[in-house]
């Protein structure tokens, strides 16, 4: 593909008074979403907090989570300021560069705010859910848990939509360039929060399970286990704060891609319509949250799914009406669009949005099928526990591999369906793919609520078990909600992955747009230099594909290895406490919970740098070293391998977790049996799969794509034209490679806390 794919001069986009009015309405809807978040928050906090003992446990979790995030934000603040300064060095108009840098900080700040809000409220809602299960029953407990997620969901929608609308209002035609900074800030901070929170939560969880359940034979949240508080803290900093930030950046980056391509394909209307679609989603999300009510004799998952499908269906109808009411009937009537396409913009936009919403619905079903406790695949994994942990691992891993194929094919079908709608125009096709992503965004409010529901229910069960202040019926209710939460978390990971692929594919198109404009500025074309070759069989492009896939594998390995190191430290600390103080097991002494919290806090923050540097430096090394053609291949390889790896890790982990729940419900020997031990081992293997490495791939893909978009003009300038400078280009490459190699080397040399002086398992006495 060496010919131009974008208009030679590019569209000139200016927003008229009418279009500006629409953007203002979108901004007001975003603010209304934030008001709804405040109302839901007040409802959650009005619920009872249970017994004094339950409140003390909840307070310990609150303090640990707040301390961790505060330390994490201080660490990331330095990195954010450094990137803010570096963005000034990129080519472009000075005013736009300043705006891009400022909105980089805004995007990072919004991502941090959503994550912190998710953590803050979930650590206060968990005890209220436990109290509701104890005193009021199933429906109130489920409502509090889901409304907690509703607060985070509406905050995600409100801040993402408001940030994008604000950029469009302030920068008009230059908004796409400024939005690159907004999306990059959101994605970069979310990746760090996802990796750090994932390492924290799974290190504590794995350590608690291995010593508590397997070695000591005590329940998961037994207060005698020194890692229980850290485990509950981890649920909030990983699954609530980390995933909330992840879904916020998915929201922001998809909007960025849609607005960049929309302004090129549809002109002014393309800069406004992608804002209208998620604004409709904000309204239907409120409806979906209100519709989630547990009916008598109905599974909690059924109630949640029903609300999701209803809100998605209403979004389809409203988005179709909006497309036909707002967009013109022909491309020639678009204000600044390409003008030479034979299709009907209204019909194409409607079909693209429907594809995105349908994709969310299909993935909801598909992921639920492979990870739900009532479905055959997970039941089969649970049944293999009768023959030991090895077969549990094998069956769960095979399930993940198989499910990844189906999910990837569904996502690919959605991408290709949107591509076909373009009817030969690559630019229109890429915009329609991005528009499908905004269609998927209409469900994000409910999706975030579903995701937050999981860790809140998990924490509620932990508080109830640790306090001992809940009867058998309440405990069974919380166990049911926890199992539902495991499935909803897996589902939201699947949808987040689909959003990442749509956004990354659309950003791929944005990358091409940026290159075309940069080449035009220096008076060159794609045919002027070998490194500009985009043919997939070109050696430089193929090498880029291989390197892109390698980075996904290396990133995943680094994240899982980090959990292993931190979990090892937790295992030895918990064993030490059991060995040194027999009163802990007897129930006469209190474990030192704070020591375990401190261990995983230090280890998770220490492990942040290497995956983050890899994500930022790898595309810089490939782009400046091998050229823009190889960088395009790199992005393609990362997207392809990333979607498969992320789904495999998420679904394997979800199936192992729920197979453990099946056994704990009394099947195949129940708690304390060899089958239970086997599923616990499977669950501990799956923990870093589903909650650390898998979901971290989502922001990884978008960070790398946004880095490519940001550096593309500089690569072109240094490769061809009057300012070509191969020496500087290769110097940048050498520095990037050196940073990657050094960070990985340092990571590999870190202590695994497993040495000759570490106590072996057989030496532990109680």
Q: Tell me: the pLDDT tens digits for 275-305?
A: 899 899 888 888 888 877 766 666 777 778 8
Return the closest-CA partner of residue 612 out of 76, 178, 60, 9.
76
Output the six-digit token pair for 668: 């195949």
pLDDT of the residue at 295: 67
Largest CA distance in the chain: 81
Sorted by sequence, the CB contacts under 8 Å of residue 269 that are 6+ apart come out as 19, 262, 326, 327, 328, 334, 335, 337, 345
Angle at 380 between CA 379 and CA 383, to 5 degrees: 90
pLDDT band at 749 (very low <50, low <70, confident <90, very high): confident
Q: Are 22 and 326 in contact (CB under 8 A)?
A: yes
Q: Tell me: the pLDDT tens digits for 154-179?
A: 898 899 889 888 988 888 777 777 88
Q: Tell me: the pLDDT tens digits for 621-652?
A: 999 998 888 898 999 899 999 999 999 998 89
Q: Are 198 and 695 in contact (CB under 8 A)?
A: yes
Output the six-digit token pair for 523: 């008076």
pLDDT of the residue at 4: 39
Does residue 439 carry a pLDDT above 80? yes
Mean pLDDT across 356-371: 86
Mean pLDDT across 418-439: 85
pLDDT band at 766 (very low <50, low <70, confident <90, very high): very low
b or e along 606-628 (b: 16 or more beta carbons within 10 Å of the residue's beta carbon)? bbbbbbbbbbbbbbbbbbbbbbb
Does residue 317 carry a pLDDT above 90? yes
pLDDT band at 725 (very low <50, low <70, confident <90, very high): confident
Residue percentage of the chain with pLDDT more than 70? 91
pLDDT of the residue at 397: 93
Mean pLDDT across 554-559: 90
pLDDT of the residue at 755: 42
Sorted by sequence, the CB contacts under 8 Å of residue 259 that are 6+ apart come out as 164, 168, 175, 176, 179, 270, 271, 274, 275
Residue percentage of the chain with pLDDT more than 90? 16
Mean pLDDT across 707-734: 85
Give the Cα separation of 627 and 541 in Å (integer): 9
pLDDT of the residue at 196: 82
Return the closest-CA partner of residue 249 out of 110, 73, 152.
110
pLDDT of the residue at 532: 59
Give the Cα separation of 165 and 144 in Å (integer): 31
pLDDT of the residue at 3: 38
Q: Tell me: the pLDDT tens digits for 194-226?
A: 888 888 888 888 888 778 777 777 776 777 888
Residue 652 C-alpha from the chain's centroid? 17
Average pLDDT, the chain: 82
pLDDT band at 352 (very low <50, low <70, confident <90, very high): very high
Quickly count: other Cβ atoms within 10 Å of residue 46's Cβ: 9
pLDDT of the residue at 734: 95
pLDDT of the residue at 11: 44
Does residue 68 carry a pLDDT above 50? yes
pLDDT of the residue at 220: 67
Give the Cα separation of 444 and 32 in Å (integer): 16
Does residue 552 carry a pLDDT above 90? yes
Range from 82-96, 559-573, 578-592 carrying the lowest mean pLDDT: 82-96
pLDDT of the residue at 759: 44
pLDDT of the residue at 32: 93
pLDDT of the residue at 35: 93
pLDDT of the residue at 337: 66
Range from 74-83, 259-268, 509-518 carrying the lowest mean pLDDT: 509-518
Does residue 8 carry a pLDDT above 50? no
Mean pLDDT across 679-692: 86
């Amino acid at each position: 593909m060496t010919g131009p794919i974008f208009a030679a001069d590019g569209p000139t986009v200016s927003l008229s008074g009418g279009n500006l009015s629409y953007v203002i309405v979108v901004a007001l809807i975003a603010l209304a979403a934030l008001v709804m978040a405040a109302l839901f928050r007040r409802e959650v906090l009005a619920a009872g907090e249970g017994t004094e003992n339950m409140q003390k446990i909840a307070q310990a979790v609150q303090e640990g989570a707040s301390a961790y995030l505060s330390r994490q934000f201080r660490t990331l603040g330095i990195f954010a300021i450094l990137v803010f300064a570096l963005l000034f060095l990129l080519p472009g108009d000075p005013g736009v560069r300043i705006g891009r840098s400022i909105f980089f900080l805004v995007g990072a700040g919004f991502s941090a705010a959503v994550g912190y809000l998710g953590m803050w409220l979930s650590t206060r809602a968990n005890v209220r859910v436990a109290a509701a299960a104890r005193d009021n029953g199933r429906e109130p407990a489920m409502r509090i848990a889901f409304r907690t997620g509703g607060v985070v969901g509406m905050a995600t929608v409100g801040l993402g939509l408001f940030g994008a609308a604000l950029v469009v209002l302030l920068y008009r035609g230059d908004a796409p360039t400024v939005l690159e900074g907004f999306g990059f800030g959101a994605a970069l901070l979310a990746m760090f929060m996802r990796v750090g929170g994932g390492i924290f939560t799974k290190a504590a969880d794995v350590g608690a399970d291995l010593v508590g359940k397997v070695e000591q034979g005590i329940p998961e949240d037994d207060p005698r286990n020194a890692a229980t508080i850290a485990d509950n803290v981890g649920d909030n900093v990983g699954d609530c704060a980390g995933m909330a930030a992840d879904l916020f950046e998915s929201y922001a980056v998809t909007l960025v891609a849609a607005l960049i391509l929309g302004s090129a394909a549809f002109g002014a209307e393309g800069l406004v319509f992608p804002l209208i679609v998620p604004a409709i989603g904000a309204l239907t999300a409120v409806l979906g949250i209100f519709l989630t009510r547990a009916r008598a004799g109905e599974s909690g998952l059924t109630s949640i799914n029903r609300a999701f499908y209803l809100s998605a269906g209403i979004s389809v109808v409203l988005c179709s009406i909006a497309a036909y009411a707002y967009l013109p009937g022909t491309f020639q009537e678009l204000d600044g669009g390409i003008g030479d396409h034979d299709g009907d913009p209204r019909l194409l936009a409607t079909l693209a949005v429907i594809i995105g919403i349908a994709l969310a619905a299909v993935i909801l079903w598909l992921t639920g099928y492979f990870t739900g406790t009532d479905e055959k695949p997970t039941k089969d994994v649970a049944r293999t526990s009768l023959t030991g942990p090895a077969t549990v691992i094998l069956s769960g891993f095979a399930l993940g591999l198989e499910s990844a194929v189906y999910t990837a094919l569904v996502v690919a079908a959605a991408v290709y369906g949107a591509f076909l709608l373009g009817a030969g125009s690559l630019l229109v096709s890429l915009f329609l793919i991005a528009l499908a992503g905004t269609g998927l965004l209409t469900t994000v409010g409910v999706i975030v609520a579903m995701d937050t529901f999981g860790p809140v229910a998990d924490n509620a069960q932990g508080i109830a078990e640790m306090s001992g202040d809940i009867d058998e019926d309440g405990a069974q209710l919380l166990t049911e909600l926890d199992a539902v939460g495991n499935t909803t978390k897996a589902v939201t990971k699947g949808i987040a992955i689909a959003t990442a692929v749509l956004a990354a594919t659309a950003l791929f198109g944005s990358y091409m747009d940026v290159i075309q404009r940069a080449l035009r500025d220096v008076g060159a074309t794609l045919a002027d230099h070998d490194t500009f070759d985009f043919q997939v069989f070109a050696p430089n492009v193929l090498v880029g594909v291989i390197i892109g896939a390698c980075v996904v594998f290396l990133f995943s390995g680094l994240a899982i290895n980090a959990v292993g190191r931190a979990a090892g430290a937790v295992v030895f600390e918990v064993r030490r406490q059991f060995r040194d103080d027999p009163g802990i097991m007897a129930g006469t002494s209190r474990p030192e919970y704070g020591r375990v919290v401190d261990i995983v806090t230090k280890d998770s923050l220490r492990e942040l740098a290497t995956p983050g540097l890899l994500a930022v430096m790898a595309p810089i090394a490939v782009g400046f070293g091998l050229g823009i053609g190889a960088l395009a291949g790199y992005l393609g390889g990362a997207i392809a391998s990333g979607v498969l790896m992320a789904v495999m890790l998420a679904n394997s982990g979800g199936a192992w977790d729920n197979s453990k729940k099946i056994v704990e419900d009394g099947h195949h020997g129940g708690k304390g049996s060899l089958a239970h031990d086997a599923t616990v081992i499977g669950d501990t293997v799956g923990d870093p799969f589903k909650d650390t490495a898998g979901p971290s791939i989502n922001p990884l893909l978008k960070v790398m794509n946004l880095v490519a978009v940001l550096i593309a003009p500089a690569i072109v300038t240094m490769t061809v034209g009057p300012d070509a400078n191969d020496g500087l280009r290769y110097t940048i490459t050498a520095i990037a490679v050196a940073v990657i190699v050094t960070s990985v080397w340092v990571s590999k040399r870190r202590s695994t806390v497993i040495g000759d002086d570490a106590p072996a398992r057989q030496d532990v006495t109680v």
